[in-house]
Amino acid sequence: MPESVDVCYLYDGSYDGFLSCVFESYRRRETPAAILPEDAPHPLCPTRPIPSDPALAARVTKGLSEKAGSRTEATVRFAFLTILPDKEMRILAFIRKAMKTGPRILRMMADDTAYPVYRAVAHMREEAHLFTGFLRFSEADGMLYAVIDPKNRVLPLIADHFADRFPRETFLIFDKTHREAMLCRNGEYALIAGEDFTPPPPDRTERETRALWTRFFETLSIAERKNPLCQRTHLPLRYRTYMTEFLSPEKAPPSGGPAQLTGSF
């Protein structure tokens, strides 16, 4: 890595914004002390706001793909969605290393720079995979709604799966952690930054279907084999917040009037 300088880059929190910082770091041949979203608590060191520039971001993406392969580029894209601590600097270090090694970086799974990035991405993929199973839709007026609270921003990873699976449905998945929604109609979808989402109250059919499912779920367990530890290993408690079969009727998640997604869209 080139010389470290005592400057923090500030960016708008978007992926393009982050890649613009990467470009800036290359252009100035310097390694900033930190790369932080504008709304993060400001550190003591001098800051430099870096405007988000899609053209520069595209150049970084193109350069990385050509030099280190499209799988490396995808790894960087996914790594940006993870909860890796200090992810911006770690990804910057990863990009610099990948530009030197080329596609060989993909085999360097135990490398000090690459390992934390791969681990964070693997953690996110695992979480995304679990949500393809644990996510629960409710129906109201012919539309489907779901709320999830993942640690990583898994919505871009699971969107294709659900769009493909329900090609004729209209549905919405709301990521409560990152306040982001996926809206899908007839297999076409968009990801939208939203403020909040309140699911509509369940109607009679919905309540009956939930009751049938809950009964099925409870019936299936064999008393002689009861093993809550094994259940928690496969289905940690944090995933159960919005899962129909774990909601007692009184503990149903808060719901208001008609479905509402408020926010900037």
For residues 9 and 162, which CB has a smaller minimum distance to other proteins in the complex?
Answer: 162
- Residue 113 near other proteins by CB under 8 A: no
Binding residue for other proteins (CB under 8 A) from 211, 249, 258, 265? 211
Q: How far is the CB of 198 from other proteins (least distance, A)?
A: 19
Residue 65 to residue 63: CA distance in whole angstroms: 6
70 near other proteins, rule: CB under 8 A: no
Judged by CB under 8 A, the number of residues near other proteins is: 51
Separation CA 93–CA 77 (nearest Å): 14
* 142 contributes a contact to other proteins by CB under 8 A: no
Stretch of residues binding other proteins (CB under 8 A), selected from 33-41, 70-78, 130-138, 256-264: 130-138
Q: Among 58, 230, 253, 262, indicate the residue that binds other proteins (CB under 8 A).
A: 230
58 binds other proteins (CB under 8 A): no
Q: How far is CA 232 from CA 108, 168, 229, in A?
A: 33, 35, 5
Q: How far is the CB of 124 from other proteins (least distance, A)?
A: 17
Q: Residue for token digits 């869209």?
A: 265
Q: Give 62 or 232: the residue with its C-beta nearer to other proteins.
A: 232
253 binds other proteins (CB under 8 A): no
Binding window for other proteins (CB under 8 A); candidates: 25-33, 56-64, 85-93, 157-165? 157-165
Residue nearer to other proteins on the CB measure, 7 or 247: 247
Rounded to 5°, the CA angle 74-77-78 comes to: 90
In the set 191, 243, 247, 261, which binds other proteins (CB under 8 A)? 243
Q: Which residues bind other proteins (CB under 8 A)?
A: 104, 107-110, 115, 129, 132-139, 144, 146, 161, 164-169, 187, 209, 211-213, 215-217, 219-231, 233-235, 243-245
